[in-house]
Chains A and B, each alone.
Chain A
Amino acid sequence: MIVGKLKKIVPLTILVAGLLSGAAVFAADAIKIGVAGPHTGANAAFGEQFWKGAEAAAKDINDAGGINGSMIELVKADDACEPKQAVAVANRLVDNDKVVAVVGHFCSSSTIPASEIYAEANILEITPASTNPKVTDRDLKNVMRMCGRDDQQGTVAGDYIIDKLKATKVAIIHDKDTYGQGLADATKARLNEKDIKEVLYEGLTRGEKDFNALVTKIKAADAEVVYFGGLHTEAGALIRQLREQGSKAVFISGDGIVSEQLVTAAGGPQFVEGVRHTFGRDPLTIPDSKEVAEKIQANGYKPEGYTLYAYATTQAIAEALKNAKTTDGDKLADWLKANGANTVLGKKEWDEKGDIKVSDYTMYVWDKDGKYKMEE
Chain B
Amino acid sequence: MFSKPNDPPMLTAFKDSSLVGMIALLIFSPISGIILNGYGFNTHPQTPIMLAFIVFIGRFAYQLAALTPWGQRLIQKFMLSKGKRGVYVASPGDQRYLWIILAILFIAGLVLPFYLSKYYLTVAILALIYVLLGLGLNIVVGLAGLLDLGFVAFYAVGAYTFALGSQYWGLGFWSAIPLAAAFAALLGGILGFPVLRMHGDYLAIVTLGFGEIIRLVLNNWMSFTGGPNGAKAAEPSLFGLEFTRTAKTDGHIPFHEFFGTTYSPNTKFIFIYLVVFLVACLMIFFFSRLRTMPMGRAWEALREDEIACRSLGMNHVTIKLSAFMMGAMTGGIGGVFFAAQQGGFVNPTSFTFFESALILAIVVLGGMGSVVGVVVAALVLTILPEMLRDFADYRVLIFGILMVFMMLWKPRGFLPIRRPYFTKEGQA
B227 and A181 contact, CB distance less than 8 A: yes
A92 and B343 contact, CB distance less than 8 A: no
The reply on A76 being an interface residue by CB < 8 A is yes
The reply on A112 being an interface residue by CB < 8 A is yes
For B230-261 the 0/1 string (1 means CB < 8 A from A) is 10000000000000110000000000000000
For A203, the chain B residues whose CB sits under 8 A away are 220
Identify which of A15, A22, A87, A89 contacts B343 (C-beta below 8 A): A87
A22 and B229 contact, CB distance less than 8 A: no
For A9, the chain B residues whose CB sits under 8 A away are 46, 50
How long is the Cα–Cα vector from A15 to B338 in the complex, in angstroms?
A: 32
How long is the Cα–Cα vector from A21 to B388 in the complex, in angstroms?
A: 10
Closest Cβ–Cβ distance, residue A99 to chain B (whole Å): 12
For B244, the chain A residues whose CB sits under 8 A away are 120
A88 and B123 contact, CB distance less than 8 A: yes
Q: With A95-B120, A176-B219, A177-B228 in contact, do A81 and B349 touch (Cβ < 8 Å)?
A: yes
Interface residues of B in 361-402 (CB under 8 A from A): 386-387, 389-396, 398
How long is the Cα–Cα vector from A113 to B364 in the complex, in angstroms?
A: 31
For B265-304 the 0/1 string (1 means CB < 8 A from A) is 1001000000000000000000000000000000000000
The reply on B91 being an interface residue by CB < 8 A is no
For A84, the chain B residues whose CB sits under 8 A away are 126, 338, 342, 350
How long is the Cα–Cα vector from A37 to B351 in the complex, in angstroms?
A: 20
Q: With A39-B393, A76-B392, A112-B230 in contact, do A8 and B47 touch (Cβ < 8 Å)?
A: yes
Determine which residue in B230, B343, B391 has the highest number of CB atoms from chain A within 10 A of its CB, and name it. Answer: B343
For A39, the chain B residues whose CB sits under 8 A away are 392-393
Identify which of A88, A177, A178 contacts B119 (C-beta below 8 A): A88
Query: What number of A residues sit within 8 Å (CB to CB) of B?
Result: 47
Interface residues of B in 94-145 (CB under 8 A from A): 117-123, 126
For A25, the chain B residues whose CB sits under 8 A away are none
Closest Cβ–Cβ distance, residue A254 to chain B (whole Å): 15
A92 and B345 contact, CB distance less than 8 A: no
A83 and B389 contact, CB distance less than 8 A: no
For B342, the chain A residues whose CB sits under 8 A away are 83-84, 87, 113
B126 and A120 contact, CB distance less than 8 A: no
For A176-203 the 0/1 string (1 means CB < 8 A from B) is 1110111000000000000000000001
Interface residues of A in 27-65 (CB under 8 A from B): 39-40
B229 and A78 contact, CB distance less than 8 A: no
The reply on B73 being an interface residue by CB < 8 A is no
How long is the Cα–Cα vector from A96 to B120 in the complex, in angstroms?
A: 9
A83 and B47 contact, CB distance less than 8 A: no
Which B-chain residue is minimally distant from A178 (CB atoms)?
Answer: B228
Q: With A88-B126, A120-B245, A176-B228 in contact, do A11 and B119 touch (Cβ < 8 Å)?
A: no
B345 and A112 contact, CB distance less than 8 A: yes
Which B-chain residue is minimally distant from A117 (CB atoms)?
Answer: B343
Determine which residue in A9, A83, A89, A117 has the highest number of CB atoms from chain B within 10 A of its CB, and name it. Answer: A83
For B389, the chain A residues whose CB sits under 8 A away are 78, 89, 92
The reply on B69 being an interface residue by CB < 8 A is no
The reply on A347 being an interface residue by CB < 8 A is no
Closest Cβ–Cβ distance, residue B291 to chain A (whole Å): 30
Interface residues of B in 60-90 (CB under 8 A from A): none
Closest Cβ–Cβ distance, residue A106 to chain B (whole Å): 13
Identify which of A40, A80, A83, A88 contacts B122 (C-beta below 8 A): A88
Q: With A40-B393, A120-B245, A176-B227 in contact, do A83 and B118 touch (Cβ < 8 Å)?
A: no
The reply on B54 being an interface residue by CB < 8 A is yes
A95 and B119 contact, CB distance less than 8 A: yes
Identify which of B122, B349, B395 contacts A78 (C-beta below 8 A): B395
For A328-363 the 0/1 string (1 means CB < 8 A from B) is 000000000000000000000000000000000000
The reply on B330 being an interface residue by CB < 8 A is no
The reply on B310 being an interface residue by CB < 8 A is no
For A69-87 the 0/1 string (1 means CB < 8 A from B) is 0000000101011111001
For A95, the chain B residues whose CB sits under 8 A away are 117-120
For A3, the chain B residues whose CB sits under 8 A away are none
The reply on B38 being an interface residue by CB < 8 A is yes
Identify which of B120, B230, B345, B391 contacts A116 (C-beta below 8 A): B345
For A113, the chain B residues whose CB sits under 8 A away are 342-343, 345, 347
B350 and A83 contact, CB distance less than 8 A: yes
Which B-chain residue is minimally distant from A48 (CB atoms)?
Answer: B393
The reply on A132 being an interface residue by CB < 8 A is yes
Which B-chain residue is minimally distant from A21 (CB atoms)?
Answer: B390
Which A-chain residue is minimally distant from B338 (CB atoms)?
Answer: A84
The reply on A324 being an interface residue by CB < 8 A is no
Closest Cβ–Cβ distance, residue B117 to chain A (whole Å): 4
How long is the Cα–Cα vector from A9 to B53 in the complex, in angstroms?
A: 13
B229 and A182 contact, CB distance less than 8 A: yes
Q: With A92-B119, A176-B227 in contact, do A82 and B349 touch (Cβ < 8 Å)?
A: yes
- A interface, CB within 8 angstroms of B: 1, 5, 8-9, 11-12, 14-16, 20-22, 39-40, 76, 78, 80-84, 87-89, 91-92, 94-96, 109, 112-113, 116-117, 119-121, 132, 134, 176-178, 180-182, 203, 264
| Additional pairs, 18, CB under 8 Å, beyond known A80-B396, A83-B342, A89-B389 | A5-B47, A11-B391, A12-B394, A14-B391, A15-B394, A83-B345, A88-B386, A91-B118, A109-B228, A109-B349, A113-B342, A116-B343, A120-B265, A121-B118, A177-B228, A178-B228, A181-B222, A264-B39
Closest 6 CB pairs of A and B: A116-B343, A120-B265, A95-B119, A91-B119, A95-B117, A113-B345
23 pairs, CB–CB < 8 Å, chain A vs chain B: A1-B42, A8-B47, A9-B50, A12-B50, A20-B390, A76-B392, A83-B345, A84-B126, A84-B350, A88-B119, A88-B123, A88-B126, A91-B123, A92-B389, A94-B119, A96-B117, A109-B228, A113-B343, A117-B265, A120-B244, A134-B229, A176-B227, A178-B230
